[in-house]
Amino acid sequence: MKRITLILSIVLGLPSLSVAQVNPSLIQAGIDAFNAYTLSDAQVAEYSRQAVQQMDAKNPVAAPNDPYTQRLNRIVARHHKVGGLPINYKVYKTADVNAFATADGSVRVFKGLMDAMTDSELLAVMGHEIGHVINRDSRDAMKSALRRSAVRNAAASGSGTLGKLSRSQLGGVADYLLGASFSRRQESEADDYSYDFLKRNGYNVLALATSFEKLAKLSGGGQGGRVTQILSTHPDSKARAQRVRDRARRDGLVKK
């Protein structure tokens, strides 16, 4: 019992209490939140898959014969496995300028982003999002989402483990993942992954710079606007574009 109280204190930030003072559902929430810290990569990928399924059900997904799907399939034809991870791609036919990737290898690209970007720029943005998966940032975001869900909903199952999330819990996790933001370091590392991905596969690395420059223009040079948070987090888009251009010059890929 002392261990359960300690878990509650660590995970929920509660003062030290006797178990008799704590509602049993809160104890279960603490256990579930603690378990979210210790999930395996396979479990995180499965919860990601479930959350993406729910997002797919809530958004207008372009059909296989849709021109947007056909364009995306042409762009990613060489990249259905990245870093050993199988990738599945779909288009959401909504006007948001956005894209995201989750720990199970799902990549979702929004119509608004496809309308704004060239093929090379789209690949650069997707490379950035896949970078978050390869760098395990998306795994950590999912664990954070599951911890929030466990605390908010008291218990994900009666067994003392997260178990199978309810539909409403999955919806909460999906909403969190869609708006998840990463640290400045994580964003820079994902930018570096995209740059290396483009360079390794013989693409123009400056497509990453021009994609950020377009995002800066669409968002008025700052945060918000038509560009959703996931593509306009720190550092700002103009600074990210300049960082790419500086690296390309150092690498001798563009003239001084």
- Catalytic residue numbers read 129
- What number of other Cβ atoms are within 10 A of residue 154's Cβ? 15
Q: What gap in Å lies between CA 43 and CA 231, rounded to an integer?
A: 27
Distance CA 150, CA 132 (A): 24
Per-residue HEC secondary structure of the chain comes to CHHHHHHHHHHHCCCCCCHHHCCHHHHHHHHHHHHHHCCCHHHHHHHHHHHHHHHHHHCCECCCCCHHHHHHHHHCCCCCEECCEECEEEEECCCCECEEECCCCEEEEEHHHHHHCCHHHHHHHHHHHHHHHHCCHHHHHHHHHHHHHHHHHCCCCCCCCCCCCCHHHHHHHHHHHHCCCCCHHHHHHHHHHHHHHHHHCCCCCHHHHHHHHHHHHHCCCCCCCCECHHHCCCCCHHHHHHHHHHHHHHCCCCCC
Answer yes or no: are the C-beta atoms of 143 and 33 closer than 8 Å. no
N- to C-terminal Cα distance for the chain?
Answer: 66
